[in-house]
């Protein structure tokens, strides 16, 4: 089973990368689970025709009980991707990271992986600060590989450095390791050179590069990934290439 956590600064395009990867894997015949680990709970929306999924934490808060079956907190999206959102606490109250921990424990109780038997599991994780809760996917044995999404913007690279440092703190415990950097272009000055310099300094390879594209925006406005909208496009090819690299690394 391929298990990947995608981290990066808030707003850097993690959900776009994650959902397009999920769609790519699905069209390659893989059984995929995508788990959104962000209080905004919008990771899977473009796999679900633009319709938001009720997050796990909302279910528990509104129903005042834990769900009894997976169908209560999940929904199949494009290509049969099983979508789950952890959500978070009521805004201004509680720790969002604890929502991730509580959700993961619930998914274990519901025997998610034994029941669904996925080939690929993707975790879309808010990564400005890798606190205990947001680090759960990499330190509890859920994910084995980490992708760091960044642009050439200063704060994006700052967050990428924090994330790589946090992951390395766990490497000697057989937890997840950084697989590579995904350069999600923002067309800032000397962007490629800046990310290449970070790659060289950190020793983390650039494994994917997504050009800035109106095509992605156009399909997201329709509640779709670019893979669903036009699987033959050049941008879709970038996501397929990254998906293949990840699969080959497992072999």
Which of 30, 128, 145, 194 is labelled catalytic? 128
Domain housing 11: 2-250
Q: For position 155, which CATH number holds? A: 3.40.50.300
- 40 or 14, greater pLDDT: 14
For 147-201, how does the pLDDT look when each residue is reduced to its tens digit (9 = 90+)? Answer: 999 999 999 999 999 999 888 887 767 688 999 999 999 999 999 999 999 999 9
Encode pLDDT of 73-113 as tens digits: 999 999 999 999 998 766 666 666 677 888 889 999 999 99
Q: Which of 9, 30, 145, 194 is catalytic?
A: 9
9 is catalytic: yes
Active site residue 241: no
Contact 121, 1 (CB under 8 A): yes
pLDDT value of residue 172: 64
Given the residues 40, 72, 241, 245, select the one marked as catalytic.
40
pTM: 0.94
- In the chain, the number of structural domains is 1
**Does 14 qualify as catalytic in the annotation?**
yes
Q: What is the mean pLDDT of residues 128-153?
A: 82
- CB under 8 Å, gap of 24 or more: what pairs does 110-116 form? 110/67, 110/69, 110/70, 112/33, 112/70, 112/84, 113/1, 113/33, 115/70, 116/31, 116/33, 116/70, 116/82
- 3 is a catalytic site residue: no
pLDDT value at 128 more than 90: no
Residue count (the chain)? 251
Tell me the percentage of the chain whose pLDDT exceeds 70.
93
């Amino acid at each position: 089973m391929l298990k990947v956590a995608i981290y990066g600064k808030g707003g850097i395009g993690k959900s776009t990368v994650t959902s397009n990867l999920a769609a790519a894997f699905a069209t390659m015949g893989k059984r995929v689970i995508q788990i959104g680990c962000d209080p905004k709970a919008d990771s899977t929306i473009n796999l679900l025709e633009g319709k938001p999924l009720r997050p796990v934490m909302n279910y528990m808060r509104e129903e005042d009980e834990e769900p009894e079956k997976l169908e209560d907190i999940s929904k199949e999206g494009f290509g049969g991707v099983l979508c789950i959102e952890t959500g978070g606490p009521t805004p201004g109250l509680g720790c969002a990271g604890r929502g991730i921990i509580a959700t993961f424990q619930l998914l274990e109780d519901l025997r998610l992986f034994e029941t669904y038997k996925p080939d690929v599991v993707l975790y879309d994780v808010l990564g400005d600060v890798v606190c205990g809760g947001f680090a759960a996917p990499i330190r509890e044995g859920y994910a084995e590989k980490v992708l760091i999404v960044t642009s050439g913007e200063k704060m994006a690279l700052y967050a990428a450095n924090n994330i790589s440092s946090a992951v390395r703190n766990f490497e000697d415990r057989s937890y997840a390791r950084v697989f590579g950097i995904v350069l999600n272009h923002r067309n800032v000055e000397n962007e490629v050179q800046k990310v290449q310099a970070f790659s060289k300094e950190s020793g983390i390879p650039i494994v994917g590069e997504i050009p800035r594209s109106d095509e992605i925006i156009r399909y997201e406005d329709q509640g779709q990934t670019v893979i669903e909208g036009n699987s033959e496009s050049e941008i879709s090819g970038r996501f397929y290439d990254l998906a293949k690299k990840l699969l080959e690394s497992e072999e």
